[in-house]
Amino acid sequence: MAFMKNYLLPILGVFLACYYYSANEEFRPEMLQGKKVIVTGASKGIGKEMAYHLAKMGAHVMVTARSEEDLKKIVSHCLEYGAASAHYIAGTMENMTFAEQFVVEAGKIMGGLDMLILNHITNTSMQLFNGDIPHVRKVMEVNYLSYVVMAMAAFPMLKKSNGSIVVVSSVAGKIANPLIAPYSASKFALDGFFSSIRKEYSLAKVNVSITLCILGLINTDSAMKAAAGILNLDPSPKEDCALEIIKGGALRQEEVYYVQSVWSRLLLRNLGRNILEFLNLRWYNMDKFINKEELL
Ligand SMILES: NC(=O)c1ccc[n+]([C@@H]2O[C@H](COP(=O)([O-])OP(=O)(O)OC[C@H]3O[C@@H](n4cnc5c(N)ncnc54)[C@H](OP(=O)(O)O)[C@@H]3O)[C@@H](O)[C@H]2O)c1
Ligand SMILES: *[C@@H]1O[C@H](CO)[C@@H](O)[C@H](O)[C@H]1NC(C)=O
Ligand SMILES: *[C@@H]1O[C@H](CO)[C@@H](O)[C@H](O)[C@H]1NC(C)=O
Ligand SMILES: *[C@@H]1O[C@H](CO)[C@@H](O)[C@H](O)[C@H]1NC(C)=O
Ligand SMILES: *[C@@H]1O[C@H](CO)[C@@H](O)[C@H](O)[C@H]1NC(C)=O
């Protein structure tokens, strides 16, 4: 009872207050004007729509994916739409050397970096898990490991600019569903890694924001193809989804929920996890890690 009175109730109050009053700042498209932004997986789908939104907001846009022909067209459209600059570097995120060098090269071309939007995934079909271990490894490397590699390569630039990392994830990265085990694992991994890193940045007073985006079904060609005849769910529009991701990143929100049902949005937020994460910090003595710049 004493525990409830001393800890639980005040903490619950604080969290509920945060839930309902966190939309303190309004998004303005000018927030992205002149900002240097990387978008991965930008040859189609949500990534392409994000590149176009950023171009219209006057950002410097750097896109990547494997299909060079598609990227070329997207870059020229970005310039038409008003991008401060637009470039592409094509390559595969199966190659961690490419992932790292791409970020470094992008930083050289744009002269720094304000926002890293990690969005690409290896193609996935919906099926029962059949023991295909090489596929699990590929999914973890492309969907997860390359994100970590790129975030670390971008860190020095993001620290300098008080920048942002935006990680595109899925409802399948918060709750379990059948037919997408390897994909789901890679998205859960992103949550584990980037949410942990966010705690470290917060404790070490590193002003780089991390936004994890939890998306429901979106009407991209690949998702529609994968879900056809399996998922009876209305998809949301990719253009609007792309805009909400950019808004969340610009407002430095910890998480973005782009799902249709209000109930899902509320339950996915997982108040229990938030309370435990907050309380667990009590057991840590962080002194020897804080203010040691070389550790970050
Ligand atoms: N659509 C949905 O319903 C939905 C739902 C929840 C979450 N999400 C998330 O939203 C993000 C975008 O999804 P989307 O539906 O827009 O996907 P998409 O249309 O299939 O686009 C995937 C992008 O990743 C690139 N890509 C694929 N393999 C690659 C590789 N090996 N190396 C580098 N780039 C590669 C593709 O380009 P190339 O083929 O040219 O390389 C493409 O640009 C993903 O993180 C996804 O998990 C989507
Ligand atoms: C991986 O990428 C690097 C840098 O782009 C490149 O030099 C190397 O040849 C690539 N490796 C493979 C196996 O393609
Ligand atoms: C992904 O695409 C490649 C080439 O288009 C294809 O060979 C592979 O079977 C696809 N994988 C899945 C899991 O759909
Ligand atoms: C980053 O934020 C700090 C305060 O946290 C501020 O002193 C500094 O000027 C900012 N730098 C840039 C480039 O905005
Ligand atoms: C972190 O950086 C952002 C963007 O430059 C700035 O608005 C914010 O005030 C900074 N926060 C702190 C705590 O310095």
- The string of pLDDT tens digits covering residues 117-143 is 999 999 999 999 999 999 999 999 999
191-229 pLDDT, tens per residue?
999 999 999 999 999 999 999 999 999 999 999 999 999
Is 213 contained in some domain?
yes
CATH number reported for the structural domain that contains residue 157 in this entry = 3.40.50.720
Position 157 in a domain:
yes
Q: How many residues does the chain have?
A: 296
Q: What pLDDT does residue 287 have?
A: 85
- The preferred substitution site among 123, 124, 126, 138 for testing ligand 3, maximizing ligand atoms within 8 Å of CB, is 123
Q: What are phi and psi of 59, to 5 degrees?
A: -85, 165
DSSP state of 218: B
Residue among 89, 82, 93, 83 at smallest CA distance from 107: 89
> For ligand 2, atom 5, which residue shows the shortest CA distance?
98
Distance CA 130, CA 135 (A): 10
Integer angstrom CA distances of residue 226 from 123, 217, 221, 222, 274: 9, 11, 9, 6, 33
Is 18 inside a domain boundary? no
Please give the DSSP secondary-structure letter assigned to residue 62.
Answer: E
Number of domains in the chain: 1
Widest CA span of the chain, in angstroms? 65
Name the residue with the closest Cα to ligand 3, atom 12: 124
What domain range is 246 assigned to? Answer: 30-295
Residue matched to tokens 């310039």: 79
To the question of pTM greater than 0.75 for the whole model, the response is yes
Identity of the residue numbered 182: P
Catalytic residues: 183
Residue 81 lies in a domain: yes
pLDDT at 17: 59
- For 256, the enclosing helix (H) or strand (E) is strand 255-258
60: CB partners within 8 A, 6+ apart? 34, 35, 36, 37, 83, 84, 85, 86, 110
Instruction: Tell which atom from ligand 4 comes closest to the C-alpha of 160.
Output: 13
Residue 34 lies in a domain: yes
- Report pLDDT for 34: 98
- Give the per-residue pLDDT at 23: 57
Residue 173 lies in a domain: yes
The stretches in the chain having pLDDT less than 70 are 1-5, 7-24, 291-296
Residue 252 Cα to ligand 5 middle (Å): 9
Estimate to the nearest angstrom the gap between the alpha carbon of 286 and the chain centroid.
27
Does the residue 16 lie in any domain?
no
Domain assignment present for 9: no
- Ligand 3 closest atom vs CA 123: 1
Residue nearest to atom 1 of ligand 3 (CA): 123
pLDDT at residue 20, rounded to an integer: 52
